[in-house]
Structure 1
């Protein structure tokens, strides 16, 4: 056990008397790099372990006694207080690396990448080089307060060459601060388990709420069936991209998340070759666009792996799409590829086009209109082409042929939402609607039609029925519910016309 001895120092008090110090001493077993006891007599098989005498000096007897009370239980359990003191002197970055490396294979690569980014952006610079035992609750509070202060907009999000002084000041979202705090807390948990610190300083700091309690609560904007039909019709007939009109219908009447939609392959569809018969789609993977390509992963949770039924009218559209437009979708064709993406992407401005095609041949032909305040060229007298834009209401003269799509890569819902979905909403005067609101629309339409909330929860892939009850309580009928009739084909009503058929060039 540890004991205290009193020693005199070279320092003197105001009266010239030596100032005493209080030395805490104890013995502990010496261990090698592998943690094995080192024998006192290496040549003897029954040698007792070698013991090391440790010393620590304190200025007051109270501090020395506190250290004795801390050391004795550790020595009794065979632990090394000196080694744990050394562990506390190691930098936070060492425990961050240990925690992050230990997550490999335990979480999805995307989640691990987010944790690494949170540590690199918000934790590493102020705290990474600090000894982990020196980080206090006050340090954690100060660090979080600094995250909440306004800061210049990041360099990648402002014009090139703009300095921090010239940049607009922005604040981090509460969700970002919450994730940064959770990253630090979990790193310090590793230090606690390793004995470098006795308690996590984050534990005494109230956790940051993901949302501002004073802010207006967020409400989704689920579209009605008529609005969905109008948007899909506008994308197909006015914008000239009927395939992406079908993508909007598919997303709205299956409730798939954006990553799940991008992750679909041709083989994931089950469509009996009987007109009017219902089908189904299997959700087994997700994809998301990353720099240099696509990242394939598993669905959000175990219950997100599911089979979603497809009503007969939508199954008919999909059967026609696979037979007439998808180059790898016809099961009896020579080019059939079950692993091909179900819905295609588009050729970017710098992507090489298929052999024998020009940019004008793969793009739709649309009616153009001239802005009222358009400028004219002083040399030619013609309107400046920057003021000529596609008519947001006139039907396309020619829709994009199926060869104008990039069938080797999956559809990017974020790109569809930005370049097709949002312009259609604006042209129809429907206001701001997120792509994810199509998923909400599916849930609302299904529940309003009488579908039992447990069935809707399974089709949405919610991890718990409670999630469905919490989010969609206002749309669940008071009765027990039951199997509802299939959702009917939506009609645009006064918002638009029917979608034109897709055509493959001969």
Structure 2
């Protein structure tokens, strides 16, 4: 028998293994590693050798050491991908990967099948929202794309399954009248200006809680969205820049909101003088000592105010939806709303608020009627 150690890279040989009564197709990869495939007959071994050699030429054969899915995902996140992520994204990825590891962690990475993955998604939909399961699919797809690049799998199994369709939670935004009632009710409350800002500008919670006085231009009556903050368990308050270029944006403010901000600043200066301890972070909406206001604390206050005014429970984030829907009903152009909300693509705005557009078709119909009725009247006058 020829000395198999002399085989070159991306070459193969076939030989008989007496101890196992099997024919072996052995391939030496470009990395110098040998891969063996045992077959019942010599003909099968030859076919397997030729098949693997063709896959090697295409770059679709597994060439790296085997790993279980759970071990690979944790290694990928911690060592290969973490440096590219925001802390909030890293924490979310870690949570999503835990769902995968709990069910599929012991499956060999190169043995994961589309059927296993589809069944996993179906099972998770029993306890998790479609949005979360869709996010699980997204992070797994990203990780397996990297596994293909590293030669650990020959294909991305996520490409062969159908991720769940996201069933959006029905949002019932505030009407203009409800928003007016809410803002009127909170006059004199610590959250008065913050809630008015949320309803008028559609700014995100994290953008409001990280807004600084230096971001507000009183002369030009506008503000610049530059930051966003969130509280993450075990990490504390994490402030980041907007995720997209569109997120960093200028927002024009109506006169009444500028007046509210000026009064709010005067009240804050008085509170600062009276406080025993004050951390000067230049925040527009700080806590009682000048630091970040905790999102949960703000949320509790918001829910209490809704109850007091007799409005149905909504999330603070729904004030952003309320701002968009009110503006749409006012006839504001969808492109303007996209820029105000900081959406990177108008398709996001349309996808989120398109259900509100049909209600405005009556105005379009009335406009067309007006155009052609006027034409008819002009013709009548001309003939007379």
- Name 1:22's counterpart in structure 2: 23
- Name 2:238's counterpart in structure 1: 295
Q: Does 1:309 align with 2:256?
A: no
In 2, Cα distance between equivalents of 1:30 and 1:185 = 26
Q: Deviations over 1:240-298 (max 9, x none)?
A: x52312211111111101111111111111112xxxxx611110110012236311012
Is the contact between residue 343 and residue 407 of structure 1 (CA under 8 Å) also seen in structure 2?
no
Change in Cα spacing, 1:182 to 1:63, as seen in structure 2 (3 Å) is farther
- Name 2:3's counterpart in structure 1: none
In 2, Cα distance between equivalents of 1:76 and 1:178 = 34
Q: 1:417 aligns with which of 299, 302, 305?
A: 299
Q: Does 1:117 align with 2:64?
A: no
Change in Cα spacing, 1:146 to 1:456, as seen in structure 2 (3 Å) is closer
In 2, Cα distance between equivalents of 1:93 and 1:8 = 34
- Name 2:378's counterpart in structure 1: none
- Name 1:503's counterpart in structure 2: none
Q: Does 1:227 align with 2:178?
A: yes
In 2, Cα distance between equivalents of 1:225 and 1:85 = 62
Change in Cα spacing, 1:329 to 1:148, as seen in structure 2 (3 Å) is same
Q: 1:70 aligns with which of 48, 51, 62?
A: 51
Q: TM-score, length-normalised on structure 1? A: 0.60
Name the one with the larger helix percent: 2
Matches within 5 A, 1:245-394: 245-272=192-219, 279-291=221-233, 293-327=236-270, 339-345=281-287
Structure 1 stretches of at least 4 aligned residues deviating more than 6 Å after TM superposition: 476-479
Is the contact between residue 255 and residue 443 of structure 1 (CA under 8 Å) also seen in structure 2?
yes
Change in Cα spacing, 1:417 to 1:189, as seen in structure 2 (3 Å) is same
Q: TM-score, length-normalised on structure 2? A: 0.77
Q: Does 1:196 align with 2:152?
A: yes
Is the contact between residue 28 and residue 80 of structure 1 (CA under 8 Å) also seen in structure 2?
no
Q: Does 1:431 align with 2:312?
A: yes
Change in Cα spacing, 1:61 to 1:184, as seen in structure 2 (3 Å) is farther
Aligned-residue CA RMSD in angstroms?
3.4
Larger radius of gyration: 1
Change in Cα spacing, 1:55 to 1:261, as seen in structure 2 (3 Å) is closer
Structure 2: tracts of 5 or more residues without a match? 1-10, 365-384
In 2, Cα distance between equivalents of 1:432 and 1:282 = 30
How many pairs align? 345
- Name 2:371's counterpart in structure 1: none
In 2, Cα distance between equivalents of 1:471 and 1:76 = 46
Q: CA deviation at 1:64?
A: 1.9
In 1, Cα distance between equivalents of 2:327 and 2:290 = 33
Is the contact between residue 218 and residue 258 of structure 2 (CA under 8 Å) also seen in structure 1?
yes
In 2, Cα distance between equivalents of 1:431 and 1:29 = 65
In 1, Cα distance between equivalents of 2:286 and 2:209 = 9
Q: Which secondary structure does the structure 2 equivalent of 1:410 belong to?
A: coil
Q: 1:408 aligns with which of 290, 313, 317?
A: 290
Q: CA deviation at 1:62?
A: 5.8
Q: Deviations over 1:97-153 (max 9, x none)?
A: 443133234332211211112112x1223433433222223332343344345xxxx
Q: Which secondary structure does the structure 2 equivalent of 1:422 belong to?
A: helix
Is the contact between residue 178 and residue 210 of structure 1 (CA under 8 Å) also seen in structure 2?
yes
- Name 2:382's counterpart in structure 1: none
Q: 1:185 aligns with which of 136, 141, 146?
A: 141
Q: Deviations over 1:180-215 (max 9, x none)?
A: 23333332222222222222233322212222xxxx
Is the contact between residue 178 and residue 209 of structure 1 (CA under 8 Å) also seen in structure 2?
yes
